[in-house]
Structure 1
């Protein structure tokens, strides 16, 4: 008989100290995003963030080593929201690739549309901080998981590289997001969900008419 102690699947509740730390960190984060949206990331100082959160300047550095860490926290929160959204929406292993990708894009659109001003401010800060070049392509990895599932179902040719497709979808998502977030009043009709849905269609269906042969390459 196995006498290994039974394990539980739930985490122990946080103590008061840990809960207070999370509350202060959350207050700093929320205050920072509000100021970034109102004034801009570069125009907001750590002192202003601490004052808005009603804590001492040193308390800020107990939670974030530098102001740029707030950009990372913003990205982590959005990835968690995407994961939670995918889990809550019930994407199943047997879902078609088209349905799964469109659901991913729909969730991403909702996250951004809920807080357009924050998205615009933080996206600019993310780019200026060089994060697109420094960070791993997290969204691409999530897309690649969806493509991998389609490969396992035999929905795609076996020679398709899921990671490349995932990165391509990420590039399309980010490009569309940049354009949407910077749209002026004349482009107010531009809807992120519509644009992302159309982009998925182009990737899945291609742009060449079905059955039409490609022209022969011209010799160099």
Structure 2
């Protein structure tokens, strides 16, 4: 009976991971060059130097690659909110979103691709299209409501959605070259959104 080396499984997983990364990198390059709609599975496989059959060992369809690229950019885990009291909820949300946007645009090619897609990405990747940072924002909004810093007459999920739309609009403006300083623009649009969330009392 043959005995498998303890490291065999890990090295196989590492090879599969590198192959997936190569496919993702190749797909992104082609999407940027030709547009998402103009790239087929066959194009990605050929440019990556593999067969279609090998492509399908890693991804079931092109949209799965798109979903993975979104996850690379938007993250998979909710962000950790900056420290501070619940009374300082809105400035903390602003700071968190500016930091998140700055990290996202550090991967400029991917960020510009994702935020200039001519199709609505939520339709392709479902709930994964919501940046995980908004989960942290929603928790912070709830804490702010409890502390009286955020208005209680509007559901926290509605406030979060409003702030999230401002955040996404700011990044789209940057991706489409309407603004150059993404941090300042995120700050401006989020300020406009959170002013309406402030408890007026």
User: Does TM, scored on the shorter chain, surpass 0.5?
Assistant: yes
- Equivalent residue number for residue 180 of structure 2: 190
- Equivalent residue number for residue 169 of structure 1: 163
Any conservation in 2 of the 1:28–1:53 contact (CA below 8 Å)?
yes
Q: Deviations over 1:34-65 (max 9, x none)?
A: 22122222222222322332322211111111
Counting matched residue pairs gives 186
Instruction: Report the Cα distance in structure 1 between the residues aligned to 2:114 and 2:106, rounded to whole angstroms.
Output: 14
Match of 2:10 among 4, 15, 21: 15
- TM-score normalised by L of structure 2: 0.77
- TM-score normalised by L of structure 1: 0.71
CA-CA distance at 1:98 after TM superposition: 2.7
Match of 2:115 among 120, 123, 126: 123
Match of 2:83 among 88, 92, 113: 92
Sort the Cα spacing of 1:56 and 1:133 in 2 relative to 1 into closer, same or farther, 3 A: closer
- Equivalent residue number for residue 218 of structure 1: none
- Equivalent residue number for residue 141 of structure 2: 147
Q: Are 1:51 and 2:41 counterparts?
A: no
- Equivalent residue number for residue 204 of structure 1: 194
Residue ranges of structure 1 left out of the alignment (5+ in a row): 1-13, 212-220
RMSD (Å), alpha carbons: 2.9
